[in-house]
């Protein structure tokens, strides 16, 4: 069946083949009746093009179209809403004005230099992270055979700057204990998780932790990586912290470990501001 529905998320999709490509391609839509209709219309157009012997090309795909496919795929896989919103914001606000004026196959290093220049005032780590996300989208396009090659792969391998080790000398253990003592309960819980698991603050790791990530039998928790599933980490959990997790789980009203007033925290700074 060329039109189907993802069981986990309910999203509709249309699966089809492109001549010369080994694997079938999936185009994802939303969950509603109109999205189902759109999937069927897309399927009809694909089949009609074969009857009329019109070629189906992906070589002219632009970044926005590819990013939509990437976001739909990640959404179907259960990726956090914060991550999806972050990627969508980067595409719409940063990359679309610069990189969407031509097909992906025609993008050149000078185009990526313009995108890179947007983050000139950011720290090296931040600049690398933003450009890594763009690179991930192109790699996704190659894996799914939407595009033949990643146009920024060689350029980014030469341009990416090494990151300096983070200097944490300004925050001593004594300082941390003082901060913990005066923090409200929700921020103390956030600090506890950071201390026990070493999760990086932000929507992808610390605030993306879900109760389903805990393996209660093996005393481990999966911390989602910031780039791909292969960058996920399995962190051992002590018996003492496991019991605290059980208590928190019994009180939880959402799927995430960290929630304040029913809302998911998106940044560590937000937690301090709320305090």
Q: Residues 96-122: pLDDT tens digits?
A: 888 877 789 889 999 999 999 999 998
- Give the pLDDT mean for 180-198: 85
Q: How far does Cα 67 stand from its chain's mean position?
A: 11
pTM above 0.85, yes or no: no
Q: How does DSSP assign 60-117, residue by residue?
A: T--HHHHHHHHHHHHHHTT--HHHHHHHHHIIIIIIHHHHTTS-GGG--HHHHHHHHH
Helix (H, G, I), strand (E, B) or coil at 196: helix
Would the CATH topology of 63-159 be identical to that of 173-274? no
Q: What pLDDT shows up at residue 229? A: 58
Residues 168-181 have a mean pLDDT of 75
Enclosing H/E stretch for 13? strand 12-16
> How many CA within 13 A on the CB side of residue 31?
7
Assigned CATH topology for domain 173-274: hpI Integrase; Chain A (1.10.443)
Answer CATH for 63-159 from 1.10.10.10, 1.10.150.130, 1.10.1040.10, 3.90.950.10: 1.10.150.130
What's the rounded mean pLDDT across residues 25-41? Answer: 82
**Worst-scoring range by mean pLDDT, 29-33, 201-205, 241-245?**
201-205
Residue 5: which pLDDT band, with cuts at 50, 70 and 90? Answer: confident
pLDDT greater than 90 at residue 194 = no
Cα–Cα distances in angstroms (integers) from residue 14 to residues 36, 94, 142, 180, in the given order: 9, 29, 19, 51
Q: Determine the Cα–Cα distance for residues 151 and 153; give it in Å rounded to an integer.
A: 6
Domain boundaries, the chain: 3-51, 63-159, 173-274
Flag whether pLDDT at 200 surpasses 80: no
H or E stretch at 173: helix 173-182
Tell me what pLDDT residue 109 has.
Answer: 94
pLDDT beyond 80 at 185: yes
């Amino acid at each position: 069946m060329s039109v189907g529905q993802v069981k986990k998320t309910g999203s509709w999709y249309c699966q089809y083949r492109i001549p010369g490509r080994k694997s079938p391609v999936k185009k994802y839509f939303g969950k509603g009746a109109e999205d189902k209709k759109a999937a069927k219309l897309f399927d009809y157009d694909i089949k009609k093009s074969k009857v009329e012997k019109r070629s189906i090309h992906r070589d002219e795909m632009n970044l926005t179209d590819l990013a939509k496919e990437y976001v739909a795929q990640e959404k179907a896989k259960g990726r956090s809403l914060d991550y999806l919103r972050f990627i969508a914001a980067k595409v719409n606000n940063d990359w679309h004005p610069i990189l969407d004026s031509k097909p992906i196959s025609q993008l050149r290093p000078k185009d990526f230099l313009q995108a890179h220049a947007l983050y000139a005032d950011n720290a090296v780590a931040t600049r690398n992270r933003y450009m890594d996300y763009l690179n991930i989208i192109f790699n996704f396009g190659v894996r799914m055979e939407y595009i033949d090659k990643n146009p920024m792969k060689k350029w980014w391998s030469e341009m990416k700057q090494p990151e300096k080790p983070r200097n944490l000398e300004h925050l001593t253990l004594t300082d941390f204990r003082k901060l913990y003592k005066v923090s409200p309960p929700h921020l103390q819980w956030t600090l506890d998780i950071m201390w026990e698991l070493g999760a990086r603050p932000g929507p992808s790791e610390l605030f993306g932790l879900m109760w389903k990530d805990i393996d209660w039998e093996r005393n481990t928790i999966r911390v989602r990586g910031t780039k791909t599933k292969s960058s996920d980490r399995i962190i051992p959990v002590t018996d003492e912290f496991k019991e605290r997790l059980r208590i928190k789980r019994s009180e939880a009203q959402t799927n995430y470990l960290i929630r304040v007033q029913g809302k998911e925290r998106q940044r560590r700074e937000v937690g301090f501001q709320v305090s």
